[in-house]
Chain A
Amino acid sequence: MLKKTRSLICAGLCVLALAGCGNNSNTATVATSTQAGTLAVDPPLRVASLTASAFAAQLGASPTGQQLLQLAGTPACGVDFYYMKYWTTAPDGKPTEVSGAMMVPTGSGAQCSGARPIVLYAHGTTSVSTYNIADITDSTNAANSESALIAAVFAAQGYIVVAPNFEGYDISNLGYHPYVDAAVNADDMMDALTAARTALPHSFTPGTTDSGQLYVTGYSEGGYVAMATVKAMQAAGDTVTASAPASGPYALEAFGDAIFFGQVDIGSTIFSPLVTTSYQNAYGNVYKATSDVYTSTYASGIDTLLPSPDSLTQLFQSGKLPEAALFDSTTPVTGNTQLDQLLAVPTSPPYSASEAALFDAGFGTPSLVNNTYRAEYAADALTNPDQAEMTLLNGGTLTASDVALAAQPAVGLRQDFKLNDMRNGGWSPKEPMLMCGGDQDPTVFFQVNTGVMAAEWSPLVSAGLVQVLDLNGTPGGAFAPLQSAFQSTYAALVAAQGPSTAIQSYHATEAPFCMVAARDFFAQVP
């Protein structure tokens, strides 16, 4: 009888043992290759799936969303948001894992399935290390509004969107962001595109395919990255159907010189540590110690400060960064009259009252950058001038013959700016390009960036291959409604907040207008 008992128990255990075999293998594949462009997890996670009406309802729930709906139009398609992990190349040449978004249009509309064009999008400067443009579900993520913007403008109108988070953000363990590092940023964009092309057939809508049309765009830092990507893709022989970099710091050397000459832009105390950390890691020529550039108040730890999980408010309040004081209000005196004038706090005249007020806000005590470094940089900018910045400083008009880069900058940071300046390399776009911005932009100055590139490529501008859209210009041509809409939106902001507060949001206010302009532009270049 005991024997029988045992055999029954055994039967039970045997069933258990068999059951152990019946497991599920229903998981994504994790790539073993770390080659650049490899999709690390295939298929990628679909973070959210929204029908056109659900997306419209979500946008309609907030005032900014309502404005976006009005500008971008009612969604024609639903949008599936995917979170991609993929491999790219760090500045040291080693493979590094990064992440980004793929947004796929869905639904029964004619433009929502089948072969669709791809928009490759580069996001703007952010100090927040957790930035994740794929995470449309988390309204607390710093990327949430930019994610909604590109989804509304592009994906909900039938474009597949690919948008990297960049090295240094989200899952990236690089520890810093290769900020305005043209080659590295362009590689990240191209690797995101390769990964997305791998992911697309394994999405929930495998019938939605890449039509082969590729549009490259981005805003602010992303405008720069978009242009760098066009340059790199052309060099690699890859097709770019059209591009629309917007409000980017393309002419880094000229822009840097303008800032060191006292034309301090809004956001400069964030941009400075991002750029010095990036170039120091890439080239090792910015400083021997951070105190070579930064004042003793801020030098310690500034090379590892950004991107940070803390908000800007927290960084300012904890005293790790000044909110606006890039330079010391007691400006350096070198004995060189011309240089000392350029180092002085800008006044009106020669600047307009609003310009002088804007630049003046960039001076304070304690400042971020020390006077010794500022004087050293400015002296080099005067001795080895960037022709474009000199032309602007002298009140001249930019032409193709007076926008040359400095021949031999001596200061490390200026050498790095020159290397990464979009004028470098004697290239020009082969396919249509729209450069959108606003000429009163207080964050990324329009003339010294967009204006300089337009002058550099003036024959192409004349030929219509390169178009410049100044949102603040007199409305005219195909983009007149957008120009008028931007100007009335900003006027309303000024009326509501006053000019000194409204100017803080000028750069961000341009973004959706430039993105809609990009979409309209792309539609003309099939």
Chain B
Amino acid sequence: MQYKIATLALGTALALAAATGARADTAHPNDIRIGGYFVHFDTSASDITGPYTVPGLNTSVNNTTTLYLGYVRTLSSHFAVEFAFGWPPLTHAVGKGPAAVGSVPYNGVTIANIRWLSPTALLEYNFFAPDSRWRPFVGVGVNYTYFYDRQVTAAGAAVSGGPTSISLPASVGPAVTAGFKYRLNTRWHIVASYSVAQVNSRLTTDTAGVLRSSSVHFWPNAVVVSVGYSF
């Protein structure tokens, strides 16, 4: 279901880009960007529930910094679509709750390392004229987050009670952005933005067939600073 929504959203954005591409009134409607993604996670997870689980166990995700890659297609004088990717960061899930479970350390301990791919498609409105040096913009869109390479650390296995696998289904959620573009010349520019997406998933761990789970909601809010090239 989530795959379908994501496909639909990306497809719509793409169709929009294709359909309006002909009306682009700039000489260089394509724009590729590279920069830094400084991601802060506002995590809100429900306490982990399941058999053999002491109450009050929660998790949070450490902030991360990664490479930003973006492609922006100008649709008109004011509209553009952006496809933003972060280089899949290695994110650390950290225990939040009691100092120890039994005698096994918990609070603040990295219990899992997770990589995830989180493309975002945004429809953006750019203020001012296309040849302005400063162009603020706002955008709304859809974020698709896919978790992979989910590895429970030795400390995570110790607290879980054995070798543990994690499942975190992919998430589709809204994303918003605001920022500005500073034009250096006709080809090059610098972009800074602030984006927030909503990611909802359900963390399920399997230790020796014992399933434990937690609803995970986080709002990755990212500051992106990038350099763009138009062609």
Select one of A4, A19, A27, A45 contacting B117, CB under 8 A: A19
Q: Mark A233-262, 1 if CB is under 8 A from B, else 0.
A: 000000000000000000000000000000
- How would residues 161 to 200 of chain B score, 1 for a CB under 8 Å from any chain A CB and 0 otherwise? 1111110000000000000000000000000000000000
Is B207 in contact with A12, judged by CB distance below 8 angstroms? Answer: no
Using A16-B146, A24-B150, A45-B162 as known contacts, say yes or no to A2 and B30 having CB atoms under 8 A apart: no
B17 at the interface (CB under 8 A from A): yes
Contacts of B117 in A (CB 8 A): 12, 15-16, 19
Interface segment, one of A48-56, A152-160, A288-296, A496-504: A48-56
Let me know if B85 and A26 touch, CB within 8 A: no
Q: In the assembled complex, how far is the CB of residue B186 from the closest CB belonging to chain A, in whole angstroms?
A: 17
Among B101, B152, B209, which residue has its beta carbon within 8 angstroms of that of A41? Answer: B209
Shortest A353–chain B CB gap in Å is 49
- Using A1-B30, A24-B150, A26-B165 as known contacts, say yes or no to A9 and B208 having CB atoms under 8 A apart: no
- Contact A137–B52 (Cβ < 8 Å): yes
- CB within 8 Å for A49 and B207 given contacts A23-B148, A24-B149, A24-B166: no
> What total count of A-B pairs have CB within 8 Å?
104
A49–B101 CA distance with the chains assembled, in angstroms: 8
Tell me whether B88 is interfacial, beta carbon within 8 Å. Answer: yes
B158 with A28: CB separation less than 8 A: no
CA distance A450 to B199 in the complex (A): 66
By beta carbon, the residue of chain A nearest B161 is A46
* Smallest CB gap from B163: residue in A: A26
- CA gap between A46 and B152 in the complex, in Å: 16
Q: Which residue of B lies closest to A22 (CB)?
A: B149
| Minimum distance in angstroms from B219 CB to a CB of chain A | 22
The chain B residue sitting closest to A27, CB to CB, is: B165
Given A51-B103, A137-B52, A204-B158; A26-B164 close (CB under 8 Å)? yes
A78 at the binding interface (Cβ < 8 Å): yes
**Contact (Cβ within 8 A) B206 A83:** no
Please give, as numbers and ranges, the residues of chain A lying within 8 Å of B52 by CB-CB distance.
45, 47-48, 83, 135, 137-138
Q: Is the CB of B115 within 8 A of A22?
A: yes
Interface residues as binary, B135-160 with A (CB distance below 8 Å gives 1, 0 otherwise): 00000000000101111100001100
Asked if A30 CB lies within 8 Å of chain B CBs, one says: yes
Q: Report chain B residues within 8 Å CB of A138.
A: 52
Q: How far is the CB of A418 from chain B (nearest CB, A)?
A: 41
Q: In the complex, are the beta carbons of A50 and B103 less than 8 A apart?
A: yes
Q: A41 — which chain B residues lie within 8 A by C-beta?
A: 208-209
Interface size of B in residues (CB-CB distance below 8 Å): 40
Q: Is the CB of B102 within 8 A of A54?
A: yes
Query: B5: CB under 8 A from chain A?
Result: no
The answer to the question of A85 belonging to the interface, with a C-beta cut-off of 8 Å to chain B, is: yes
B71 at the interface (CB under 8 A from A): yes
| Docked-complex contact B165 and A49, CB < 8 angstroms | no
**Complex contacts, B10 vs chain A, CB 8 Å:** 9
- Encode contact with A along B15-32: 1 for CB under 8 Å, 0 otherwise: 001100100000001100
Given the complex, which residues of A lie within 8 Å of B104, measured CB to CB? 49
| A30 adjacent to B103 (CB under 8 Å) | no
**Chain A: interface residue total (CB-CB under 8 A):** 37
- The answer to whether B85 and A12 touch across the interface, beta carbons within 8 angstroms, is yes
- CB of A8 closer than 8 Å to a CB of B: yes
> Which residues in B have their C-beta under 8 angstroms from that of A8?
71, 83
B73 on the A face (CB < 8 A): yes
CB distance from B47 to the nearest CB of A (A): 15
Q: Do the beta carbons of B209 and A5 come within 8 Å of each other?
A: no
Q: Which residue of B lies closest to A21 (CB)?
A: B148
A51's closest neighbor in chain B, by CB? B103
Q: How far is the CA of A193 from the CA of B191 in the complex (A)?
A: 67
Q: Are B151 and A24 in contact (CB under 8 A)?
A: yes
Report B-chain residues with C-beta under 8 Å of the C-beta of A85. Answer: 209
Residues on the A chain within 8 Å of B119, using CB: 12
Chain B residues whose CB sits within 8 angstroms of the CB of A23 once the complex forms: 148-150
Complex interface bits, B200-214 against A, C-beta within 8 A gives 1, otherwise 0: 000000111110000
Contact B208 A45 (CB under 8 A): yes
A48: B residues at CB distance < 8 A = 52, 101-102
Q: Which residues of A contact B83 (CB under 8 A)?
A: 8-9, 12
Q: Which residue from A20, A22, A43, A135 sits with its C-beta under 8 Å from B208?
A: A43
A contact residues around B54 at 8 Å (CB): 137
Q: Which residues of A contact B157 (CB under 8 A)?
A: 26
A85–B148 CA distance with the chains assembled, in angstroms: 30
Closest chain A residue, CB of each to CB of B24: A1
CB distance from B74 to the nearest CB of A (A): 10
B164, A27: Cβ atoms closer than 8 Å:
yes
Q: Does B14 contact A (CB under 8 A)?
A: yes
Docked pose: A85 CA to B102 CA in angstroms: 22
The CA of A27 and the CA of B151, in the complex, are separated in Å by 11
A12 to chain B, nearest CB (A): 5
A93-104: contact bitstring with B at CB < 8 Å (1 yes, 0 no)? Answer: 000000000000
CA distance A104 to B158 in the complex (A): 15
B7 to chain A, nearest CB (A): 10
* Least distance between A49 CB and chain B CB atoms (Å): 5
Q: Which of A30-88 contact B (CB under 8 A)?
A: 30, 41, 43-51, 54, 78, 83, 85
Q: Is B209 a contact of A78 with CB atoms below 8 Å?
A: no
Rounded to whole angstroms, the CA-CA distance of A429 and B103 in the bound complex is 41
B17 to chain A, nearest CB (A): 7
A489 to B152, CA, bound (A): 49
Smallest Cβ distance from B141 to chain A, in angstroms? Answer: 14
Q: Which of A1, A20, A26, A135 neighbours the largest number of chain B CB atoms within 10 Å of its CB?
A: A26
Instruction: Report the minimal beta-carbon distance from A102 to chain B, rounded to whole angstroms.
Output: 12
13 A-B residue pairings within 8 Å (CB atoms): A5-B73, A15-B117, A16-B146, A19-B88, A23-B150, A27-B163, A27-B165, A43-B163, A45-B161, A45-B162, A45-B207, A50-B103, A137-B52
A interface residues (Cβ-Cβ under 8 A, vs B): 1-2, 4-5, 8-9, 12, 15-16, 19-20, 22-28, 30, 41, 43-51, 54, 78, 83, 85, 135, 137-138, 204
Chain B positions near chain A (C-beta within 8 angstroms): 10, 14, 17-18, 21, 29-30, 52, 54, 71, 73, 83, 85, 88, 101-104, 115, 117, 119, 146, 148-152, 157-158, 161-166, 206-210
- Since A5-B18, A9-B83, A28-B163 are in contact, a sample of 15 more A-B pairs with Cβ atoms closer than 8 Å, ordered by chain A residue number, is A2-B18, A5-B30, A9-B10, A15-B88, A16-B117, A19-B88, A19-B117, A24-B166, A45-B208, A46-B161, A46-B162, A49-B103, A51-B103, A78-B103, A138-B52
What 8 A-B pairs have minimum CB-CB distances, sorted nearest first?
A46-B161, A45-B208, A19-B148, A51-B103, A28-B208, A48-B102, A22-B149, A27-B165
